[in-house]
Amino acid sequence: MDKSEWIWMNGDFVPWGEAKVHVLSHGLHYGTGVFEGIRAYETEHGTAIFRHQDHLQRLAKSAELYFLDLPCSLDDIRDATHELIRRNGLASCYIRPLAFRGYGEMGLYAPSAPVDVMVAVWPWGAYLGEEGKRNGVRAKVSSWRRISPNSLIPQAKASGQYLNSILAKTESAKAGYDEAILLDEAGIVCEGSGENIFVVREGVIATPGHTASILDGISRRSVIQIAEDLGYRVVERDIARAELYLAEEVFLCGTAAELVPVREVDDHPLGGPGEITRVIQGRFEDALHGRAQEYLEWLDVVEQPSRVTS
C-alpha cells in the first residue's frame, strides 16, 4: 500500500511505522472493532471529505451496537482527520477510522479492555479499478451466504463481520471474477462483498431495502437521491438471483469502489455499461468531486491544506 507519513492514534499523531498495537489486543483475536471507509477528493473548493458526518455517525452507531464506548467524540475524530490530511499533505485520499477493543483483558466479555481509536489516510485508487469503472466488472454469485441478522448485525460495519465478505471475495477472485454478490439464506440478493447493488429492469431501478441483510451504504443513499433527482423511479425491494441475469443493467456502489457497472454475472453477459448506469455514475462522480452544486452540502472541506509534514 501507499504509505503516508502520519497516523492518528488515541489522540496523538504518530509516524506511520510506529502505529503499533499489543498482540493481545482484544480486537485482533475476536474481531471486536468497528470501522469506516471514507474518501476525500480534490475539488475546486479544496480537499473535501464525502459525507464525513454520515460516516462518523455510522461509526458511532456500529460501536454502540457492539457495546464499544468510544473514548472520544465524533468531533475529535473529525478534527483529527482534517489535521491528518493536512499533515500528510494529501489532496485526495482514502480515510480509515477504526475503534477496537484493545489490550487489557481477554475473554469474550472484556468490558475493562480499553477502546482504542485510530485514523489512517493514504492514497488509494478505485477498489475495483478504473477499467472496471469504465467498462464494467465480472461478478459471481457467491456460495457463501450474507451474514444473517439472527447471528450478527448486517447494518453494523464491524471488523469481525468482514470474514464473511472475505470468504466471498476470495472465492470469486480465485475463480477469476472481479467481485462477489452475496445472497441471503432464502436466496434473495443482498449486496457485493464491499458494495451495495442496484438492478435496472424496464427502466426502473431496484435495490434491496432495509429489511435485507445489507450495510446501509452511504453511497447507496447518495445514488438513490441522485437517481430520483434525475427523475428515475427507484424502488427498494427483494431482488431474485435470476433478476441479475435478466436485468438491463446492474451496478455496484461503495466508498472504496465508487460506482461500478457490472457487465457479467455468473457468465451471463449484460452488455456494456447501460445508459442509466452511465448517467447516474456521471452525476455521482460530479457529487464526489464537488462539481454538482446541489450536492455540495455532502462535502466536508478540509480547511487550508498546509502541506506541513511534521
Residues 132, 134, 138, 141, CA torsion sign: positive
User: Closer CB to ligand PLP, residue 196 or residue 277?
Assistant: 196
Minimum CB separation of residue 207 from ligand PLP in Å reads 11
**Cβ burial, residue 169 (10 Å; 0-12/13-18/19+):** buried
Write out the residues near ligand PLP by the rule CB under 6 A. Answer: 37, 165, 191, 194-196, 215, 217-220, 254-255
Distances (CA, A) of 219 to 64, 86, 105, 242, 245: 22, 25, 37, 25, 23
Q: If residue 170 lies in a helix (H) or strand (E), which one and from where to where? A: helix 162-174
Q: Which of 20, 157, 169, 174 is catalytic?
A: 157
Residue 95 DSSP one-character state: E
User: Closer CB to ligand PLP, residue 12 or residue 228?
Assistant: 228
Name the nearest CA neighbour of 103 among 21, 160, 33, 17: 21
36/3 Cα distance (integer angstroms): 18
Minimum CB separation of residue 264 from ligand PLP in Å reads 20
Minimum CB separation of residue 192 from ligand PLP in Å reads 7
157 noted as active-site residue? yes
User: Closer CB to ligand PLP, residue 26 or residue 146?
Assistant: 146
| Pairing status of strand 46-50 against strand 38-43 | antiparallel
User: Closer CB to ligand PLP, residue 256 or residue 279?
Assistant: 256
Minimum CB separation of residue 255 from ligand PLP in Å reads 3
Crossing angle of the two packed helices 218-229 and 52-65, in degrees rounded to 10: 140
User: Closer CB to ligand PLP, residue 113 or residue 262?
Assistant: 262
Say which amino acid occupies 216: D
Minimum CB separation of residue 189 from ligand PLP in Å reads 13
Catalytic (active-site) positions: 157
